[in-house]
Amino acid sequence: MSQLFAAGRAAFGSRAITCLTASSTRRIPCRSASSSSSSERQQATPPPLPRAQPPLPRPPPPPTPFELLLEGKRFTCTECGKCCTGSGEIWANEAECAAIATHLRLPMLHFFRRYTKSYSRRPGWRMLKLQPGSDHCIFLEGGTKCSIYPVRPLQCSTYPWWPELMDPGEWAAEGRTVCEGIEHENALPVDVQDKAPVLRAATEYFAEQLAASNAGRLAKPRQGS
């Protein structure tokens, strides 16, 4: 018995020493990470998260009232100059007069006398004169070019995107009688988002102009006044 016991102690003692040596100082079972089965690893791996769905594209916003008025219209400027002639009146407000006077390097009073005429009792609004003996705007050069183009009044720069011309009948009539660029055969459909701010600016401008007109007309517009 004592020999068996001694042999057993020797055997267990030998295994215990081997195990501690292999696992160094760790007091955990002597089992390496690589010893786990593949089924255990699969259980430990969390399932993949469901893939996020891409957001649905937003529907485009509905067209604004100005965009609706512009839809379907076609225009290209042929630079014929006809819109700078005729019986119409070109208005300029105080800021526009100041910009033109600065562009021409003229004192305001000099500019007023030479290029504009009084019209409204409302201060700040003037009209551009016509060339003597003609129905051409005083700034029209050679029948087709505007000599103050960078600072021309908003009434000019927004043409033909005027509120009064957005009615289909008025638009067509303007094309027949004044502006050959309206519905020109080479014209592309207007970019409504690009021109909507122009039409808005013209609408606000003409409302101011109408208020100036309604403020009362001076006795009679004179070329030299």
Among 66, 115, 119, 139, binds ligand SF4 (CB under 6 A): 139
Strands (E) across 42-160 are located at 91-92, 116-118, 126-128, 140-141, 145-146
User: Please, which of residues 153-172 interact with ligand SF4 by CB under 6 A?
Assistant: 156, 159
Report yes or no: 162 and 206 within 8 Å, Cβ to Cβ. yes
Structure tokens at 103: 């562009």
Q: Answer yes or no whether residue 74 interacts with ligand SF4 by CB under 6 A.
A: no
| Nearest distance, CB of residue 53 and ligand SF4, angstroms | 50
Residue with structure tokens 């960078």? 150
Q: Answer yes or no whether residue 152 interacts with ligand SF4 by CB under 6 A.
A: yes
Q: Which is nearer to ligand SF4, 76 or 225 (CB)?
A: 76
Using the contact rule CB under 6 A, the part of the chain among 38-46, 53-61, 116-124, 152-160 near ligand SF4 is 152-160
Using the contact rule CB under 6 A, the part of the chain among 11-19, 28-36, 43-51, 76-84 near ligand SF4 is 76-84
Helix (H) and strand (E) counts for the chain?
8, 5
d(CA 131, CA 85): 10
Among 70, 130, 140, 192, binds ligand SF4 (CB under 6 A): 140
Among 23, 77, 170, 221, binds ligand SF4 (CB under 6 A): 77
Report yes or no: 198 and 154 within 8 Å, Cβ to Cβ. no
d(CA 61, CA 114): 49
Task: Report whether the peptide linkage leading into residue 168 is cis, meaning its omega lies within 30 degrees of zero.
Answer: no
Which residues here bind ligand SF4, judged by CB under 6 A? 77-84, 90, 128, 137, 139-140, 146, 148, 152, 156, 159, 178-181
